[in-house]
Amino acid sequence: MAPRTATPDEPKRRRTRANKEGSIFPYKGQWAGYVWVTTPEGDKTRKWAYGKTREETHEKWLRLHEQAAKGPVATKHETVAAFLKRWLSEVIAPNREPTTYVAYEPLVRLYIVPGIGKKRLDKLTVRDVQVWLNTLPKLCTCCDQKKDHRRPERKRKCCAVGKCCKSFPSRSTIASIRRVLRAGLGHAIKEEIISKNVASLTSLPGKSLTKKSRPRMAWSVDEARRFLEHLRATDDPLYAAYVLILVLGLRRGEVLGLAWDCVDLEGGQIQIARQLTRVSGRLLHRNTTKTEDSAAFLPMPALCTSALRHRKAVQDDASKAAGDDWQESDLVFTTRHGTPIEPRNLNRAFDVRCNRADVPRIRVHDTRRTCASLLAALGVHPRVAMQILRHSQISMTMDIYTQVPSPETRKALDKLNDSLQTP
């Protein structure tokens, strides 16, 4: 075989070759080069760069050197789907509340993975995410997720029979999807897999293009008063629970998770430190609340104190009636056998009571929006109301207190309180 003849410019390239530049060489009709890097796992390995010309490969090779000098460099390219699945199982599930995982997982599985899951994580661009977000307002989730197809054939009524129900995600759902993706990419930055969070640089589709979220509803003070009067008249066992929700603005899980050791009837205080929730089929009594401020002691208006005293008496009677069947749990609100109340059962009971009290049917969570108005109607001092409402400035509280309730409403609420006073 004849010896290889050097090209005219080859001696020049050899003379001007930079330190370690010998790792760039011809490879299968193009050029290739490598740099020794440290992976995020701490291993030392080669990272390769390829190009059609030597100059193109040299530029990529220099960029690799810069990355290697700054810190670990990933050599295994995960897809968006693979990374988010690992993020959910290794970061969210063991370190965040179970409810967080339950909220994140469906958004990843049903929206993000089908949309951009196949793209390489390190190659994901702002344009990729923006174009995908722009498609969500017109994405029928029933068609995309085959919801109607999963029904028995005789019960199929829309997308499975060619009649699209146009079940588009709302703007708030799209915002939640982007928020989860942004959180996942933020962790990828911490792992030094990517250098910027492309999701945070995108914009949500315009309001005119997205399905409007269901308008929030709330009761007036008079409607809340009628609801409580009905429960009191029928001696409803959950009367005190609804008083706490309406007057103190407690969440459903906070009310159902309330224990007697967090209630100071003599001092008129209550501590919200636990929640009762059902997550993935398990009923959990968690010792954490939504925010740190939620775990502080709250002052209770007289209506709340008297309602809880009445609840204590009702529970003691239920315990005696149940006898050996009673299960002690220290929870304030229990079934007739002392067991925790299923959260969804509270929702069902609330709907029934709304119909019987002849007030608008709203969600349990929506009643929290009536809290501030009820505090004003009960004559609670603005400074105390500010503490209950967790307002940072008294001006915020006073804006609500300018809406003075009618004398009839004040008298009706006072009457509710008096009806529960123990002799």
The answer to which of 11-20, 216-225, 279-288, 390-399 has the lowest mean pLDDT is 11-20
Tokens of 161: 């029979």
Share of the chain above pLDDT 90, in %: 28
Q: Is 10 among the domain residues?
A: no
Stronger pLDDT, 291 or 44, i.e. the higher one: 44
Residues 269 and 360 in one domain: yes
- pLDDT-derived band of residue 411, with 50, 70 and 90 as boundaries? low
Residue 420 near residue 391 (C-beta atoms within 8 A): no
Domain annotation covers residue 215: no
Residues 185 and 52 in one domain: no
Do strands 297-299 and 30-38 pair parallel, antiparallel, or not at all (unpaired)? unpaired
Q: How far apart are CA 370 and CA 217, in angstroms?
A: 10
For residue 299, is pLDDT > 90?
no
User: Could you say which of 201, 229, 257 is where a domain stops?
Assistant: 201
pLDDT at 397: 63
More confident residue, 315 or 150: 315
Q: Based on the domain organization, do 147 and 296 belong to the same domain?
A: no
Counting Cα atoms < 13 Å in the Cβ hemisphere of 208 gives 0
Can you give the pLDDT at residue 126? 96
Which of 146-155, 297-306, 324-333 is the most confident on average?
324-333
Q: Are 35 and 65 in contact (CB under 8 A)?
A: yes
Helix residue ranges per DSSP H, 204-301: 221-233, 239-248, 252-256
Is 80 exceeded by the pLDDT of residue 408? no
Residue 84 and residue 64 share a domain: no
The answer to whether residues 232 and 376 belong to one domain is yes
Reduced to 3 states, what is the DSSP secondary structure of residue 72?
A: coil
Q: How confident is the model at residue 13 (pLDDT cuts 50, 70, 90)?
A: very low
In the three-class reduction of DSSP (H, G, I as helix; E, B as strand; rest coil), residue 299 is classed as strand
Whether 115 shows a pLDDT value over 90: the answer reads: yes
> Where does the pLDDT of residue 1 fall: very low under 50, low under 70, confident under 90, or very high at 90 and above?
very low
Q: Helix (H, G, I), strand (E, B), or coil: what is residue 331?
A: strand
CATH of the domain at 397: 1.10.443.10
Give the range among 102-116, 182-196, 379-393 with minimum mean pLDDT.
379-393
What pLDDT does residue 416 have? 56
Q: Which of 35, 50, 70 marks a domain boundary?
A: 70
Q: 67-76, 129-138, 383-392: which has the highest mean pLDDT?
A: 129-138
Residue-level pLDDT at 184: 96
Q: Assign residue 115 the CATH number of its domain.
A: 1.10.150.130
Asked, for residue 134, whether it belongs to a domain, the answer is yes
Does one domain contain both 282 and 370?
Answer: yes
Q: Is the pLDDT of residue 203 over 90?
A: yes
Of the candidates 235, 120, 113, the residue with the CA atom closest to the CA atom of residue 181: 113
Range of the domain at 354: 221-419
Q: Looking at the predicted structure, is the pLDDT value of residue 395 above 90?
A: no
3-class secondary-structure state, position 7: coil
Residue 34 class from Cβ within 10 Å (0-12 exposed, 13-18 middle, 19+ buried)? Answer: middle
Is the domain of 282 the same as that of 366?
Answer: yes
Instruction: Report yes or no on 128 lying in a domain.
Output: yes
Residue 3: inside a domain, yes or no?
Answer: no
- Taking CB atoms within 8 Å and a gap of at least 24, the contacts of 87-92 are 87/184, 87/187, 87/188, 91/187
For residue 182, name the pLDDT band (cuts at 50, 70, 90).
very high
Cβ pair 343, 277 in contact under 8 A: yes
Confidence band (pLDDT; 50, 70, 90) for 312? very high
Domain membership flag for residue 385:
yes
Pair of tokens at residue 101: 């995982």
For helices 80-87 and 171-190, angle between their N-to-C axes, nearest 10 degrees? 80
Q: Say whether both 86 and 63 belong to one domain.
A: no
Note whether residue 213 is domain-resident: no
Residues 102 and 66 in one domain: no
Q: Residue 20 — pLDDT band, cuts 50, 70, 90?
A: low
Same domain, 311 and 374: yes
pLDDT score, position 289: 53
Whether this model's pTM surpasses 0.75:
no
More confident residue, 290 or 288: 288
295 and 395 in one domain?
yes
Q: Does some domain include residue 4?
A: no
pLDDT at residue 18 greater than cutoff 70: no
Of all residues in the chain, what percent carry a pLDDT higher than 70? 81
Residue 136 pLDDT more than 90?
yes
Total domains, the chain: 3
- C-beta separation of 16 from 41 below 8 A: no
> Are 141 and 247 found together in one domain?
no
179: number of Cβ within 10 Å: 14
Please, which pLDDT band fits residue 218 given cuts at 50, 70 and 90?
confident
